Chain A
Amino acid sequence: MLEINIPSINNREIKGKIISEMNFLQAQTTLYSQENVIWINIQEQIKYFQGFINTAKSRAETRDSWPNSLNKFPFILLKPFGIIFFKIFNFLFKDQREVNFNILSALEESVKLNQIILEQIKSITSTSQEELNTVKFISSDFQNKYKNLENKINNLEQKHSQEINNLEQKYSEKINNLEQKYSEKINNLEQKHTEKINSLEQKYNVKTNNLEQKQEDIFYKTIYFQEDLIQQKQLINIFLNQLSGNKNKKVLNQQIKKIGKGKINYLDSFYLALENKFRGKREDIKEQQKRDYLSLLQKLNIDSLESQILDIGCGRGEWLEVLKDYKYSAKGIDLNKIMVSECCARGFDVINQDCVDYLKSLSKESLNLITGFHLIEHLPFNILWELLAESLRTLKSGGLIIFETPNPDNVLVGSRNFYIDPTHRNPLPSVMIKFLVESIGFINVEIMNLHPISDQKIDGGELAQRFNEYFYCSQDYAVIGYKP
């Protein structure tokens, strides 16, 4: 596919072209004539200069005829001689002519050079002028742009600050409104609350009074029951005494012996009550024991299901419960019947037997861990010695003993708190126990100081510090040792 367009040119267009071409030429000539006067002057000078050179040149040529003014009679007669004369003349001035010629050539070249330089200067001037105009234009353009930008920025700033003021106003208004509402609401709420609290307080006071009342009643009842029990025990004792003096001793003796043995156990219930009052809550004990001993237990690396652990004097079974929680299998042993039955009721494997006898009944190296919490302060020294010896025998290699006991380093514990339990014999200083355990044959024996009374320390200088050290340091310690 091809589309062609043939230009159509008629007379009118031709004329138009001629005219425009002429205009163009005229524009050029006017441009030319507007040239700086200086150039024109210089041009004239050069022409003038050239004129001189031309004159000089013509003068420098060889002379071979008289000047015309001498062409009349009688000088014509001298014409033949003239030729000779001129030859001599020319010969004499030959060098001069050469010099003249060279100088004139040099001058002419110089003039030409001037011409060329003139042209160059003209063109350079016009070019530079145009360049300068261009740069000025660009610079003023930049200035304009700059001004515009400045204006814009100023406008923006103005707008900006205006807007910010507006916003600030709005916000402060809003905030005031909100504050008002808020404080109103708070006042309302406060009122409601105080009303509610007052009503609750009243209710509470009423209830508390009621409870106190009941407590008093129960207390008095308890006293009554205690009195009653004591009386009954007295009666029974009288009865038993009477019986023991009877003759049907065999039958009765057996029964009496049984009961008599049971005599020893009448303190068991008392002991349980004592424990409940002074030892502390079950959960707290468990937590404390976990904190103190769990890491040691885990370091032993024994298989939990097949662990052979013995807790001597397990009491209420807190440690046994901890072991159960951590899926270890353990046995407990205690002389207190009621403690034992309570433990069994909780599902623990506990026997009621003398610990030394029991240990003696075990084969050597059969236990992983032997523990006794607040046990050894109940034992006479020789039984303690036997207990430790038997423990060493029955432990497997690497097995562990832990015995916790109150710490007499604490003055309050050693002088007062130790004796709250009447079955405690005497405080056992940790240095002595350590020495004892080591002597038995345990290795890596350590004393762990536990349970300081940190919340009752006093502040002050050196005196306070010393005081704290003796009165508020650890209340218990545990001795640990390993079978080699």
Chain B
Amino acid sequence: MRINWFSPLPPKKTDIANYTQRIIPYLQSKANVTLWTNQQEWSQEIEKYASVKQYKLEEMPWFELNQGDVNIYHIGNNASFHGEIWHISRQFTGIVILHDEKLQDFFYMLNSDKNNYIQQMKDTYGQEGGENARLFLNGHYSMEFMAENYPLTPLVLENALGVISHNRNTYLSLSQENQWLTAYTPLPYVNNEFISDHNEQNQEKPYKLIIFGFIGKNRRLDAILQALSEFKQKDSFHLNIYGQLWDEKYVKKQIEILGLEKLVTIHGFVSHKELDLALSNSHLGINLRYPTMGEASGSQLRLWSHSLPSLVTKIGWYGNLNPSAVAFVRYDHEIYDIHQHLQNFLDNPQEYKNKGIEGKKILETDHHPQLYAQAIVDFATQVCQYRCQSSLNRIIKRVSSELNYLNPNLLSNSSLDNVSEAIKFITFNQKK
């Protein structure tokens, strides 16, 4: 099995690049993977496992790509990383691995000429979609509203052969559409570099809270800081913030206003090793997210790899996590729930420690990259067999346009019997 893998590569600042880095060694043992990128530079580490080839969108080497068995495209919400990949996927049908379900932001950012964006909305959601897109551009609707109601997922999957999601709910809802081969498999994670020994962790106060990654507004930092400042025994805790903040000045100001200078430290972006060290010395992770774009969280898996208990918002992918491995926070009662957990943590730290241990177990059974690699290969094999069926849509379009030309009123069901039989004959595998 020869796979062409389209994904952002390290050192790009996206978890998907890290995810590719993690999974490639395991995948390479089961299939022949070639990595394709439009980046000018990529980490040398990854070249140990797979050859990396550059492409230019205007001059795609179709011949070479056709020599593989299947193309796998990684699509996430960030248009700067995934925009070109999507364009390729529209032309060359393959497997799309959907890292985010709600892709409003993707299309919004993809089109520098917003009229294109409006057109896309019209194409996917009709006149109403176009109108609402305009309203959004004029500031009447929020991004969250648009993402909830017009996720534009079908547009992303326009020419896809199959879709893989790491979020079971997404998988189920996409399967309903009955348009592509769909699959669900848990997000893989492995951290071979750092094995912390949690038993020797110090149990002294102040207990260290940790939040890390690409911290945007939906990571609920405002609520966390607020909750911490109002908590009576706040001096028992210390919050460490690692990673990139969406607005560092604003956060620093908030910390000042709330009087939390002694209780919160902003570390910024650090190396993997340093972050692992920090995680191994922490007591409780905070991984809240609202609203959610439907993504499975690599950060959550990283927390589990350090047997860390964590606070998560009970929504989306997080809502389906095993409650014995995480501590839930309701998105409409954030501060209250955070206080509850902090208090419980002080009263009964063992309970939370157990959650972390449970999480690590789940990580090792469900999220092992070995399983994931096998899943990909299995799915790819299925997809190859299914590929002839994918011509269905284009044949149907052709037929429709011709029938439309002849006589649009010729719409009785029986008159289409022959045609549909013929189409089925061509595209479907009759031998079962």
Contacts and interface: CB of A to CB of B under 8 A. Distances in A.
A25 interface: yes
B130 A22 contact: no
A135 interface: yes
Contact of A18 (B386, B389, B403): B403
A11 interface: yes
A15 B140 contact: no
Interface stretch (A126-134, A369-377, A438-446): A126-134
A460 B376 CA distance: 114
A131 B182 CA distance: 38
B232 interface: no
Interface residues of B, number: 51
Nearest to B365: A1
Contact of B371 (A1, A15, A17): A1
A3 B130 CA distance: 35
A111 B139 CA distance: 40
Nearest to A8: B178
Contact of B404 (A8, A15, A22, A135): A22
Contact of A2 (B183, B400, B401, B419): B183
Interface string A1-20: 11111111101011101110
Interface residues of A, number: 30
A18 B396 contact: yes
A137 interface: yes
A21 B378 CA distance: 33
B182 A19 contact: no
Contact of A3 (B183, B419, B420): B183
A4 B382 contact: yes
B171 interface: yes
A5 B178 CA distance: 9
A141 interface: yes
A226 interface: no
A31 to B, nearest CB: 9
A62 to B, nearest CB: 42
Interface in A116-150: 127, 130-131, 133-135, 137-138, 141
A138 to B, nearest CB: 5
Given A3-B171, A21-B400, A138-B135, A15 B183 contact: no
Given A3-B183, A7-B179, A130 B396 contact: no
B209 interface: no
Contacts of A166: none
B416 A9 contact: no
Given A6-B181, A6-B382, A21 B140 contact: no
B423 A14 contact: yes
B375 interface: yes
A130 B138 contact: no
A6 B183 CA distance: 9
B163 to A, nearest CB: 10
B134 A131 contact: yes
Interface in B23-53: none
Given A25-B404, A138-B135, A18 B185 contact: no
Contacts of B428: 9
A189 B289 CA distance: 71
A75 B254 CA distance: 104
B193 interface: no
A465 interface: no
A459 B417 CA distance: 128
A26 interface: yes
Contacts of B371: 1
A13 B371 CA distance: 35
B416 A18 contact: yes
A479 B179 CA distance: 119
A169 B375 CA distance: 78
Interface string B402-425: 011000100101001101110110
B184 interface: yes
B397 interface: yes
B417 A134 contact: no
A2 B379 contact: yes
Contacts of B379: 2, 4
B185 A1 contact: yes
B183 A18 contact: no
B322 interface: no
B401 A25 contact: yes
A441 B67 CA distance: 130
B184 A15 contact: no
Nearest to B404: A25
Contact of B138 (A2, A3, A127, A138): A138
Nearest to A3: B184
A18 B178 contact: no
A6 B182 CA distance: 7
B235 interface: no
Contacts of B378: 2, 4
A262 B168 CA distance: 127
A133 B131 contact: yes
Contacts of A3: 168, 171, 183-185
Interface in B182-209: 182-186
Given A1-B186, A9-B392, A11-B417, A18 B180 contact: no
A343 to B, nearest CB: 68
Contact of A11 (B399, B400, B424): B424
Interface in A78-95: none
Contact of A5 (B135, B181, B185, B421): B181
Nearest to B141: A138
A130 B131 CA distance: 7
B397 A21 contact: yes
Contacts of B186: 1
A9 B389 CA distance: 10
B179 to A, nearest CB: 6
B140 A19 contact: no
Contacts of A25: 400-401, 404, 408
A3 B184 CA distance: 5
Interface string B379-390: 100100010010
A134 B139 CA distance: 10
Interface in B149-191: 168, 171, 175, 178-186
A127 B403 CA distance: 31
Contacts of B401: 21, 25
B128 interface: no
A331 B359 CA distance: 94
Given A18-B416, A19-B411, A4 B399 contact: no
Nearest to A19: B411
B366 interface: yes
A4 B417 CA distance: 30
Nearest to A25: B404
A2 B396 contact: no
Contacts of B131: 130, 133-134, 137
Interface centre among A5, A11, A25, A131 (most CB of B within 10 A): A5
B233 interface: no
A130 to B, nearest CB: 6
Contact of A137 (B135, B183, B400): B135
Contacts of A13: 178
Nearest to B181: A6
B115 interface: yes
A14 B424 contact: yes
A-B pairs, top 9 by smallest CB distance, nearest first, are A21-B400, A134-B134, A5-B175, A2-B375, A14-B420, A7-B178, A3-B184, A15-B416, A25-B404
7 contacts: A4-B379, A6-B382, A8-B178, A22-B400, A22-B404, A130-B131, A134-B138
Interface of B: 115, 118, 130-131, 134-135, 137-140, 168, 171, 175, 178-186, 366, 371, 374-375, 378-379, 382, 386, 389, 392-393, 396-397, 399-401, 403-404, 408, 411, 413, 416-417, 419-421, 423-424, 428
Given A3-B168, A131-B134, A134-B140, 17 more contacts: A4-B183, A4-B379, A5-B171, A6-B382, A9-B389, A11-B420, A14-B420, A18-B399, A18-B419, A18-B420, A19-B416, A22-B408, A26-B408, A130-B130, A131-B138, A138-B138, A141-B140
